Amino acid sequence: MRASLVIAQTTFRELIREKMFIVIFFLAIALLMLSVALSNLSIWEFQRILSDFSLASMEIAGLGIALFSGAFMIFKEIEKQTCLLLLSKPISRREFIVGKFLGLSALILLTLVVLTCLLNLILLETEFIANSFIILLNIYLKILVVLSLVFLLSVYIRPVISLLFGLSFYLYGHGINSVEFLIKKTKDENLIAVQRLLEAVSPQFFRFNWKNYYFLKSSPDVNDILIMSGYFLVWILFLMALAIRGFNRRDIVINS
C-alpha cells in the first residue's frame, strides 16, 4: 500500500501541471461565473439557476478529467513502456494501477472541493454548506465509477474508444428510464431484451442524481446517503478488481 501511495503522490503532481487539467479547471470556473450571470436574469430564481448550473458544471469538469486523463494514462504507460521502470522495482502491478487510480482520484476530488467552496462563497447561504458537500460526495463517487471503467478498458483498447465508451456509460446510467420508455414504444422483443441486459450491467446513476437545487435545500436522509455510497463503492471495487486482473495478465515487453 505504501508503494501505491507514493505512485499516487507522483501521479497527482504530474497531472496538476498538465495543460489539460488547467484548461478544464478554469473552464469549470468560467461556467460557474456564467451561471452567476444567468441567474441574475431572474431575480426570483437566482439560487435555483445558480446552483443547478454550477453543480452540473462541477460534474462535467470532474467527468472531463476522469475521461481524458483516465483513458490515456494506463495506455500511455503500456505503449511507451514507462511503467517498466517502476515495475522493475519491488512494486507489484496491483500497487502500480491502484496508485495511478488514487492519484487521479485525488486530483478530481481537489477540483470538486474547490468548485464547491466557490459555489458556497457565491451563494452565501450557510444552511447549504453541509448539503453541498453531500452532493459533492454523490458527484465524486459517480465520476469514480466511470474512471474505474475507463481504467479497465484502457488496459485492452485504444484510449479514444475507452473515452467514448466511458462517456456512453455515464450518459446511459442517467438516461436508463428514457431509453427504456422509447424501446418499449417499439414493442420489439429483441430490443427490449437487449435493453434489460444493459440495464442489469450498468450503474443506475439516475436513482442518485442529486445535483440540483432541491437536494441543496433538502439533504437526502442518512440511509439514502449510505445506500448511495455503498452502491457506488461496490461498482468501483468491482471494476478496479477487473482492471487489476487485466493489467496483471497484460504482456508488457521491451521493444527490441
- For residue range 29-65, list pLDDT tens digits in order: 887 777 777 666 665 577 788 888 888 888 999 999 9
Do residues 101 and 151 lie in contact, with contact meaning Cβ atoms separated by under 8 Å?
Answer: yes
CA 145 from centroid of its chain's CA atoms: 6
Say how far apart CA 25 and CA 29 lie, in whole Å: 6
> What local confidence, expressed as pLDDT, does residue 4 receive?
85
Taking Cα atoms as reference points, which of 233, 239, 10 lies closest to residue 107? 10
What percentage of the chain carries pLDDT values higher than 70? 92
Say how far apart CA 64 and CA 23 lie, in whole Å: 10
Say how far apart CA 189 and CA 70 lie, in whole Å: 36
> What local confidence, expressed as pLDDT, does residue 127 receive?
78
In the numeric block, the cell 466511458 is attached to 166
> What local confidence, expressed as pLDDT, does residue 222 receive?
92
> What local confidence, expressed as pLDDT, does residue 149 receive?
94
Question: DSSP string spanning 205-245?
Answer: GGGG---SHHHHHSPPPHHHHHHHHHHHHHHHHHHHHHHHH
> What local confidence, expressed as pLDDT, does residue 44 receive?
58
Which H helix or E strand runs over 71?
helix 46-79
Do residues 55 and 119 lie in contact, with contact meaning Cβ atoms separated by under 8 Å?
Answer: yes
Angle (CA) 19-23-24 rounded to 5° is 120
Segments in the chain below pLDDT 50: 254-256
> What local confidence, expressed as pLDDT, does residue 256 receive?
42
Q: Which amino acid is at 49?
A: I
Where are the chain's structural domains?
Answer: 2-156+210-249
> What local confidence, expressed as pLDDT, does residue 239 receive?
95
> What local confidence, expressed as pLDDT, does residue 90 receive?
74
For residue 81, the 8-state DSSP code is T
